[in-house]
Amino acid sequence: MLLGLLLAVALIVPLLGQPYYTRLVARMAIFGIAALSLDLLVGYAGLVSFGHAAFFGIGVYCAGLLPMMGVQQVWVIVPVAMLVAALYGALSGLISLRASGLYFIFITLAFAEIVFYIAQGLRMLGGDDGFRLPAPTLLPGGASLANPVVLAYTMLAALVLAVWVARRLSESHFGQVVVAARDNETRLRAMGLSPYPYRLALYMIASALCALAGVGFANLVEYASPASMSWVVSGEFLFMVILGSAATIVGPVLGAVVFVGLEQLLSAVTEHWLFWLGIVLVLRVLLLRQGIHGLLAGGGQR
């Protein structure tokens, strides 16, 4: 119900003819997808990743590099970005998923830093400064994601699809095994099921979804740079998940909406807006047991 109401408002905003607010809706939808993809790991698998921005950055760079080769079609760019991210997710997951707790966090961070420094070292692509997108991604029929209205509606549709996929995953046998591994891995192994392949598959799915958000972000800012895959971005994604409430599907999306909204409001008032965002996170942890999702549902008070 709540997500439907937010979606209805978001669908109306682009019709008002205000590019700033239209791009803001697109930004919220993009980060909603990224936060939701991370929640599949944090909330349902109990895997706190601090390197999720690597997959986001892969999507950004695919949206920037493929047009250099003459490829602008969304039906090529998005699958390629998701495939590359999933493959890197498989490569990094094969190693990182053998660890847990702090070790898992630091290994995912290390793999993200590898991608970050590779992108930073590509001098032909601007190195640390990055590069402007040579051309926007095109939808079937020629509609361009450089158009804020087209981008907003496209990313909202992608967000709805991501929510549907996440919900189906969480309710499936696959999702139940992942949650069981989170709650009691020993019991799951005693039943003859190894959680490793399930976690690896989920890791790849989350990686691919995050790359989808990266493609949208590249078209939003019309730029690709290593900053899109830094540990700071990973921290922001984790912030959104915690703010909204993990393992709720809707929670991370709400967290992304509130985060982006506060980012815009606070940065217009003070250059120290990150300090106040930190205060918001502290208050969420101290006062809201189930985050923004729980608060709006009437069960967030401690």
Decide if 272 is inside a domain: no
Mean pLDDT, the chain, integer: 93
- Judge whether 93 lies within some domain: yes
Q: In whole angstroms, what separates CA 247 from the centre of its chain?
A: 14
What is the extent of the structural domain holding 200? 21-230
Query: For residue 169, is it within any domain?
Result: yes
Whether the predicted pLDDT of 300 surpasses 70: no
**pLDDT tens digits, 29-63:** 999 999 999 999 999 999 999 999 999 999 999 99
Residue 302 has pLDDT above 70, yes or no: no
Between CA 230 and CA 176 the distance in angstroms is 32
Residue 1's pLDDT is what?
65
Q: Is residue 11 part of a domain?
A: no
209 vs 212: CA distance, rounded Å: 5
Tell me, yes or no, whether 82 lies in a domain.
Answer: yes
pLDDT, tens digit, 9 for 90 and up, residues 130-188: 999 999 999 999 999 999 999 999 999 999 999 999 999 999 999 999 999 999 999 99
Say if 74 falls within a structural domain: yes
Q: How many domains does the chain have?
A: 1
The pTM assigned to this predicted structure is 0.94
Q: Which helix (H) or strand (E) holds 223?
A: strand 223-224
Q: Tell whether 215 is covered by a domain.
A: yes
DSSP-derived 3-state class of residue 203: helix
Burial of 196 from C-beta contacts in 10 A (0-12 / 13-18 / 19+) = middle
If phi over 0 gives left and psi between -120 and 50 gives alpha, with beta otherwise, what is residue 298?
left
Joined together, the tokens standing for residue 40 give 């599949």
In angstroms, rounded to a whole number, what is the distance separating the alpha carbons of residues 216 and 221? 9
pLDDT at 2: 67
Residue 36 lies in a domain: yes
